[in-house]
């Protein structure tokens, strides 16, 4: 399996696990999985366009790199209009694993819903299907 396809496959698996973890009440894992799904899908899209991607876990940086790679104004608009949600999902990567933050059901549902919106947006601008 090529590296790009591996990233896409893992992104899909992480999103499915985010939903499953939410259903089972594992809210910290659900937000971590949602963030991982978005992060890996972004890296997949960057890999397709540029043959590589930044070695970072920060969604905001990956989105800015995607805007450069795809040269689409709607990416810049999405970053601007959804910056708080992007940062909340981005912080879930560390908070859910290392910082002792406990996510409740409402927070987890909101972050997974945003992750799904982000993925759908990325599918639209890239013509790549994940979900």
CA distance 5 to 59: 20
Within 10 A of 27 (CB to CB), how many other CB atoms are there? Answer: 21
Set out the domains of the chain in order of their start, with CATH numbers: 3-126 (1.20.120.330)
Taking alpha carbons only, the member of 41, 42, 39, 33 closest to residue 15 is 33
Q: Which residue has the tokens 């912080």?
A: 91
CB 64 within 8 A of CB 79: yes
- Tally of residues, the chain: 131
Tokens representing 84 are 């708080």
Report pLDDT for 99.
77
Within 10 A of 43 (CB to CB), how many other CB atoms are there? Answer: 25
**Residues 65-69: what's their mean pLDDT?**
97
**Residues 102-128: what's their mean pLDDT?**
97
Say whether pLDDT at 69 is over 90: yes
Report pLDDT for 95.
87
| Cα–Cα separations (whole angstroms), residue 111 to 51, 62, 86, 105, 117 | 29, 18, 9, 10, 10
Q: What is the pTM of this model?
A: 0.96
Let me know if 26 is exposed, middle or buried by CB neighbors in 10 A (0-12, 13-18, 19+): middle
């Amino acid at each position: 399996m090529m590296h790009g396809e591996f990233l896409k496959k893992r992104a899909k698996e992480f999103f499915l696990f985010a939903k499953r973890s939410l259903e089972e009440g594992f809210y910290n894992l659900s937000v971590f999985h949602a963030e991982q799904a978005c992060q890996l899908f972004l890296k997949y899209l960057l890999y397709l366009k540029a043959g590589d991607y930044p070695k970072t876990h920060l969604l905001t940086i990956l989105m800015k790199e995607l805007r450069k790679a795809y040269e689409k104004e709607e990416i810049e608009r999405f970053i601007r209009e959804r910056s708080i949600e992007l940062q909340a999902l981005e912080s879930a990567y560390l908070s859910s694993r290392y910082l002792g933050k406990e996510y409740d059901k409402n927070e987890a549902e909101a972050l997974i819903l945003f992750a799904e919106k982000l993925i759908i947006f990325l599918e639209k601008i890239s013509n790549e299907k994940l979900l």
